[in-house]
Chain A
Amino acid sequence: AQSVTQLDSQVPVFEEAPVELRCNYSSSVSVYLFWYVQYPNQGLQLLLKYLSGSTLVKGINGFEAEFNKSQTSFHLRKPSVHISDTAEYFCAVIPSGSARQLTFGSGTQLTVLP
């Protein structure tokens, strides 16, 4: 079984400041990793994913994430946030051999302040 821990439930940050949203996972098998974003009253949208290869992956809206196998982490970063980045962000993992069980973290609410 897999588990995902998002260490911060709420992250307030001022506009144009950098931000890091933390995600740690636990799994006995190899996994693929995803970050999703949820804007108010909407479904989840894919930000980026790590499957293999380069540990630094770039996604939409200027976000990037780094996979660290030894620390079992997949932290999301953005060098300069905008008001429009205010949303809830979810980290998720799935066993690399199965599409059956995507496990989500509890989410991090990012609030960008003017």
Chain B
Amino acid sequence: NAGVTQTPKFRVLKTGQSMTLLCAQDMNHEYMYWYRQDPGMGLRLIHYSVGEGTTAKGEVPDGYNVSRLKKQNFLLGLESAAPSQTSVYFCASTLSSSNQPQHFGDGTRLSIL
């Protein structure tokens, strides 16, 4: 049982380039999330999805887009990468109840030059 899998694990981009981060979960979870982690700031929610075909903005959505075409996948896109988006990105998933913990992937380290 793989849990939550993120690809790629590392990526270096130049300013203005675009890319997509993929998150896949095999636990049949309804809710999926994208966070960014920066030193001293904990994890901040970028976007989330409460089910296939739905997405919503989190705390820091600017510069990112997401899609949830299949229940098991949640994609995070950067249309025009900026140095401020250098971060570690984590995907998480959970059942639909708030008393259930979120399950996290191992993260994607993204550097924008």
Q: Measuring CB to CB, which residues of chain A are less than 8 angstroms from any residue of chain B?
A: 4, 9, 32, 34, 36, 41-46, 49, 51, 90, 94-102, 104-107
Nearest-CB distance from B103 to chain A (Å)?
8
Q: Measuring CB to CB, which residues of chain B are less than 8 angstroms from any residue of chain A?
A: 4, 31, 33, 40-45, 48, 50, 56, 58, 90, 92, 94-102, 104-107
Contact of B107 among A36, A43, A46 (CB under 8 A): A43
- Check if B42 sits within 8 Å of A43, measured CB to CB: no
- Check if A96 sits within 8 Å of B98, measured CB to CB: yes
Q: Which residue of A lies closest to B45 (CB)?
A: A101
Q: Which residue of A lies closest to B35 (CB)?
A: A104
Contact of B94 among A9, A95, A99, A107 (CB under 8 A): A99
Q: Which residue of B lies closest to A49 (CB)?
A: B101
**Main secondary structure on A side of the interface with B:** loop
Nearest-CB distance from B27 to chain A (Å)?
14
| A34-B101, A49-B101, A95-B98 known; A9 vs B42 contact (CB < 8 Å) | no
Determine the chain B residues whose CB is within 8 A of the CB of A43 once the complex forms.
4, 90, 92, 104-107
| Bound CA–CA A96/B98 (angstroms) | 6
A-B contact pairs, 11 of them (CB 8 A): A9-B40, A41-B107, A43-B104, A44-B43, A44-B102, A46-B101, A90-B43, A98-B98, A99-B100, A100-B50, A107-B40
| Bound CA–CA A87/B42 (angstroms) | 14
Determine the chain B residues whose CB is within 8 A of the CB of A36 once the complex forms.
104
